[in-house]
Structures are given as C-alpha cells and as structure tokens.
Structure 1
C-alpha cells in the first residue's frame, strides 16, 4: 500500500466552497483502479490548510492510473483553482520492523 500525502493551502475565503466541491469530487478519485481510501482533514491552527491522505495499492495507480486519466482532468477542473501555492504531493510506504 502507498500513502499519498498532499498539504493543501486554500486561498483565503474559499475554505467552505473548497469543502463542498471536494465532496463533489471525491467519487472521482474513489472510482479509480487501485484506490483504497482517502480522507481530508482541516488544520486546527491554520483553518485554510488541509491535508489529503489517499491510500493506493501501488504508486503507479496514482501517478499513471489516476494522474494520466480523463477523470483526473475532471478532478483538476473542480479543485486546482482553490490551491495557493500548488501543493507538493509525496508518497509514503510502511516501514516493516521484524
């Protein structure tokens, strides 16, 4: 499993609209091959900051399967105009300890 982590800085005054639009956009990502789950959390100290956590079966499910799909174009159209600056997205994997 791969965890995609994106810190989203939302333009001032648009947080409520972003949350509503994100709810509309969520089924897009949830319909993708390799998708496991996602959650959006709002920062308590900085109300216009969110963290998006998406669990994918493989890195390629996100980087190729989603990002290079027509559904990503819909996602981008709905959400990307809210971000300032554009978020950095990183991927994490579980560290196994024996």
Structure 2
C-alpha cells in the first residue's frame, strides 16, 4: 500500500474570499475525488479546529494500492483541477509519501 499525506496552509484573503470559504471549497474538491478517480482506496480530509500558530489548515490522507496507482492519481485531470485551485490559495504545502 502507498500512502500520501499532505498538510496545507492557505493564504488569508485568497481569491477575495474568507479563509473559511477557501477551506470549504478545497475540502469539497478533495472529498469529491474518490468518486472520480478509481485508484483512490481511502481518502480523508481534516480541517484544523485549534488554529494555533503552528497549525496547518487542511490535511489530506490518501491510500493507493501501489506507487503506480498514485502516479495515475497525480496525472488524473480531476487531481490537476485541485492543483490549479491550489495555485491561487496555497501558502505552504508539506508532503510525506511512503509504503506500508
């Protein structure tokens, strides 16, 4: 199994919207991916509830059968739409990928 975990920090006021609005849109886009991309075996999106200075705003945990399935996910047009959205709102992204 291949795991892909991402932590996102968004820019304040990006796209002229509130942080909450941008977070909600990102969350909805991410949660819609499993019905569009068959290679996703598990997907969970979390939104930070504490808001400390060290917090990321959104987390993404995904699982795939193998790294080939992950590569197909990365190249999928619906994943590319999420990346395009992120270009306008992303302040920082941290990623860890590993096999179990």
Gaps of at least 5 residues in structure 2 are: none
CA distance in 2, matches of 1:48, 1:91: 18
Equivalent residues of 2:27, 2:45 under 8 A apart:
no
1:57 to 65, 74, 83: 65
Secondary structure, in 3 states, of the residue corresponding to 2:41?
strand
Unaligned runs of 5+ in 1: none
* 8 A Cα contact 1:12 1:48, kept in partner: no
The CA RMSD measured in Å over matched residues stands at 2.2
70, 73, 86: which is aligned to 2:77?
70
Normalising by structure 1, what TM-score?
0.72
Q: What are the equivalent positions in structure 2 for 1:25-36 lying under 5 Å apart?
A: 25=29, 26-27=31-32, 29-30=33-34, 31-36=36-41
User: Shift of residue 34 of structure 1?
Assistant: 1.8
Corresponding pairs, count:
91
Quick one: which of 16, 23, 26 aligns to 2:20?
16
- Match of 1:5? 5
